[in-house]
Chain A
């Protein structure tokens, strides 16, 4: 029996269970009402229906989930017990290759065999697959029937079906909320585990403080000792994300927020605010393409024109500029919020003393809103250093430690992409280095976020 057929059958059984249990409960209700006791049936008929349907489906589905994991092992075992399997090579790799091929042919994924040995195993495989498939299907159906029948006998006027169903609803809500924790743990665990393997090959001190980054040479067998110094990557990330991008984003974002909240007419504000927010909605791959195709060549030509040496067609400036534009809406909306949180009385006081609007903004509003603005900038920085596509497409791969914005630099995220695309061997330091870089990135963005949120929160409390 095939998977979809079983699932359809089960769904049908569930529906039948729901309908029949509901009908029975309704009959009970009519009977009870005829005796004049309106409260004789505890739960509405629908709850009885759900109760029986869930009892029909859940045990069977749990069984199928377990069976799907156990059955392949049982199938392989029974194939190995077959006389045709005696001639298999003992070496594990070629053995599993032959078995895999036989399985692919038996289940119809593959037409013919490359290895004559696997051809002989096809028939035993087919028989075993068939046997365990049918067994699993029959067992699941029996379980569904048993569960449904047990629950059906419990449909009685005083049975608290609603309470049971609601308990299950609550449990599933709780489980759903645990997925967030599982994901976080999964991220931390996978990063830590792979980084741990990396640091067993490369000294953490060399990684964090080394200044030479050339994973290719390590992959070619020149040793891991000084090939994984990540400082040039950290510098490139800070240079693009925290310096160039912020030089663009902070003034533009802050001034936009000030203009739109303090000067602009409501109509202008209504139209310009969503327009600026569109900047944050453009996919980063589009920004990256734009930076690489339009901005970078223009900047290189400009650099050559004013006579700067080392100008590259992939420059820190191109990536940083475009990233800064992408960040403008973040800075602007954070600044907007913190300026709005400054008490009106401070503003009124300043204006009443005869200060102009700009003097009020510069000398009262901004100093008062500064913690909020700083928090927003920190969030923007954490966003910028985690940004991938713009730097992959526009910043280049050369691990330079340079102050020249027209030169090519590389970043943490670029190198993660670079190390993990292409052929991967999961025991080489080159591949594992990507996870160590990911760990550093994760920790830094997390710290930035925690600090930023704390700053913003503290400042909000000060005015409340």
Chain B
């Protein structure tokens, strides 16, 4: 050690430069972190914004008001005897076509939805008296005109839309049939009710199966099971199931539920069973954490005044752990609601135009409906797909919001 060593001169230019450099690096690093957060968040914002931009238009529908002079039309119907049969024999599609050509010009075919006659049929059915006078009936416009009216169509359709708007027969309103109809081939007619009902039935089956089994498993593992190789196996399989890709559950459903047990294909029952196997580990893991957080003093006190082990658990531990279990259940159900791949495996991708009546009827679910519509070539399906996505996201958001609310409201710190 030489005695000539002097303390570092922090004021020297070199040292000042070094410190400035280090501080700059500090700022750069902090900025990089901020940038990562902002970039991730803005991706989410971009995704939601795109879906909103495309999807909100899917909730509206363009309609053309047809002023139909029924007595002068080629429609042969007796207003006194209107039945489903007589309406079916009246060849309404052709009559609609003729009337529309007279009112809208030769290109009426391209302007009206191919199912426009259904609106006329329903109007006649609701009030047969209109057959003896001139009545204005709103019928859905074709996909091309619909897009053009929302300023996103082909040039000729844009022109037609402008012309009709000038005549004052074009109107855009909320598309109720999107909420009440089911899948179809024509984008102006499709709706999400069928898929929504399918999702609902599937979720009910999933909940009824996974919740009791999940809670019972959590209670057994946390409260009763002694540590042994047996409980180790149970624990390992639950942790593994939580990590298995969802499509593998679909393969299981296909080979066991469909090919071995011969349950009905495409049904909410099989979908719900498959998703229940997937949701159960989530509930078990959340349930065990909730049960673990109930302090032992509660159990000791109950045992001390003579409760049996089963009474301790069902009358004291379970009620206290329930908010935590419910939070986990809702999160698991939200995941199951958004799941698509396993349901494709068990045949839920079929085209189903009527809502399911029960859990063994062929059904489809919202995410699968989104997938099916995304494959459609017709341009009108883009906004319908995005609109269905908005509905799905709204439900997921509501479920997650409920979970957070439950957690905040009932969370007890011991």
State the A residues within 8 Å of B (CB).
162, 166, 169-170, 172-174, 176-181, 183-184, 186-187, 190-191, 193-194, 251-256, 258-260, 262-264, 272, 274-276, 278-279, 281-290, 292-294, 325, 328, 356-359, 361-362, 379, 382-383, 385-389, 392-393, 413, 416-417, 420-421, 426, 434-435, 438, 441-442, 445-446, 449, 453
Determine which of B225, B259, B308, B392 lies in contact with A177 in the assembled complex, contact meaning CB atoms within 8 Å: B225
24 residue pairs of the A-B complex, CB under 8 angstroms, read A162-B308, A173-B216, A177-B225, A178-B234, A180-B234, A181-B233, A191-B248, A253-B36, A255-B32, A255-B35, A260-B33, A263-B33, A276-B44, A284-B338, A285-B338, A286-B389, A289-B370, A289-B374, A357-B30, A359-B22, A388-B247, A393-B371, A420-B345, A445-B243
Instruction: For the complex of A and B, list the 6 residue pairs with the smallest distance between their C-beta atoms, beginning with the closest.
Output: A386-B245, A259-B33, A283-B338, A176-B216, A255-B36, A358-B29
**A382-B243 in contact (CB<8A):** yes
**A386-B247 in contact (CB<8A):** yes
**B241-A177 in contact (CB<8A):** no
In the complex, chain A residues whose CB is within 8 Å of the CB of B212: 176
CB-nearest residue of chain A to B235: A180
Tell me if B186 counts as interface (CB < 8 A to partner A): no
Chain B interface mostly: helix
A104: shortest Cβ distance to chain B, in Å? Answer: 14
Tell me if B171 counts as interface (CB < 8 A to partner A): no
In the complex, chain A residues whose CB is within 8 Å of the CB of B37: 255-256, 259-260, 264, 272, 276
Tell me if B377 counts as interface (CB < 8 A to partner A): no
Interface residue ranges of B42-61 to A (CB < 8 Å): 43-44, 47, 50-51, 54
- 9 additional contacts, CB 8 Å, given A283-B340, A362-B29? A181-B234, A183-B237, A190-B255, A285-B368, A285-B371, A358-B30, A359-B25, A385-B245, A426-B259
**A176-B217 in contact (CB<8A):** yes
CB-nearest residue of chain A to B231: A177
How many chain-B residues does the 8 Å CB contact rule pick out? 81
B406: shortest Cβ distance to chain A, in Å? Answer: 15
Q: A184 with B240: in contact, given A356-B23, A389-B371 (CB under 8 Å)? A: yes
**A290-B217 in contact (CB<8A):** no
Give CA–CA (A286, B212) in the complex, Å: 30
**B341-A389 in contact (CB<8A):** yes
Q: A284 with B340: in contact, given A183-B237, A184-B241, A255-B35 (CB under 8 Å)? A: yes
Tell me if B72 counts as interface (CB < 8 A to partner A): no
Determine which of A184, A191, A275, A356 lies in contact with B26 in the assembled complex, contact meaning CB atoms within 8 Å: A356
Tell me if B204 counts as interface (CB < 8 A to partner A): no
In the complex, chain A residues whose CB is within 8 Å of the CB of B385: 289
B362-375 interface mask toward A, CB cutoff 8 Å, 1 = contact, 0 = none?
Answer: 00000110110010
**B251-A434 in contact (CB<8A):** yes
In the complex, chain B residues whose CB is within 8 Å of the CB of A256: 33, 36-37, 40
**B213-A176 in contact (CB<8A):** yes
**B51-A290 in contact (CB<8A):** yes
Determine which of A180, A194, A413 lies in contact with B341 in the assembled complex, contact meaning CB atoms within 8 Å: A413
B137: shortest Cβ distance to chain A, in Å? Answer: 35
Give CA–CA (A435, B349) in the complex, Å: 19
Tell me if B221 counts as interface (CB < 8 A to partner A): yes
Tell me if B284 counts as interface (CB < 8 A to partner A): yes
CB-nearest residue of chain B to A178: B234
Interface-central residue, B32, B247, B252, B256, by most chain A CB under 10 Å: B247
